[in-house]
Structure 1
Amino acid sequence: MLIRQVEHRIILELMKGKNDFKQIASRLSIDYSTLNSLVRRLVTYDVIRRNDDGSYQITTADLMVASDQEVQNHRRNNPNRKLGIDNPLPLVMGEELEDLKEFIKIQCEEEVPRSTILKRLKRYGYVLSRIELLQFVEYFNLAPRRKKSKNSEVEVA
């Protein structure tokens, strides 16, 4: 699997047993939030896995460092990529899934900001990233569609 140079350096730091992201970010001279998103992406693409004790483990044996463009093309064309909701929120089943869909639909209809929706979901025990929330809303068609006319906005059901 192709990975970026910075992702390779992050993997090396994690394999050394260094789990303090702030120290890793300062050592690699990158922003803390960037480091978080890169680690999340590596987990999403099943390159690394977080163990119960907080350490990380490489799950892919054939890693090759490549340019950003090559990595982007590889991930876009890779049929095994883990993006998108093939199995929407596998930890949520039945009535709980329906409750979650209804909650997000109401929030979208009231035009509540995504950051607020994410905070409310976190309060109820659901941890979603911003992209996962967008994919969830798109997958279940929860957001009202809007069509712009010449004079005003008209909602289409």
Structure 2
Amino acid sequence: MKWIGALILLCATTWGGFEFARRLRERPKQIRQLKNALQVMEAEILYGQAPVIEACEKVATQVPAPLCFFFDDFSKQLKECSSSLSSVWEERMKHYWPISSLGDGEREIMRQFGQTLGQHDFTSQQKHIRLALSHLERELEEALEQQKRYGTMVKSLGFLLGLLLVLLFI
């Protein structure tokens, strides 16, 4: 019975290490997708002169999951309620962020972007989108550095932590 518990503990900590490594690996990928989404939004708003709702609908069709869920829900909720654009943006971010691998830095960038979305003329809106893109580029470089530095370490650490706990309990 002890060995079964030890095996379960070892598997659980190893799985935790692999899950954390997966999130480190997914973060740069999702930042790139977020940058792509903002570029599509910029094109739709500036060159297609589409309203924010239509721009978000088009973004939702062009980006992969889980990011497409954010833009799709955002556009649907904007159609249904009379709340301000920034409050709907903030609410959708609260629902989306736990299912993504994005970090706090990206959350703050997107929160600030949501406060400016739809508030300015085309030129100012383009400047805000470009600012968000440049901040996301900085976060992407940091995410790639963290992935390279900690990716394999957390996998090994999960297994070794489980092994240590098993040895302590036996």
Q: Give the TM-score band, short-chain normalised.
A: under 0.3
Structure with greater proportional helix content: 2
Q: Which has the higher contact order (CA 8 A, sep 6+)?
A: 2
State the TM-score, normalizing by the size of structure 2.
0.23
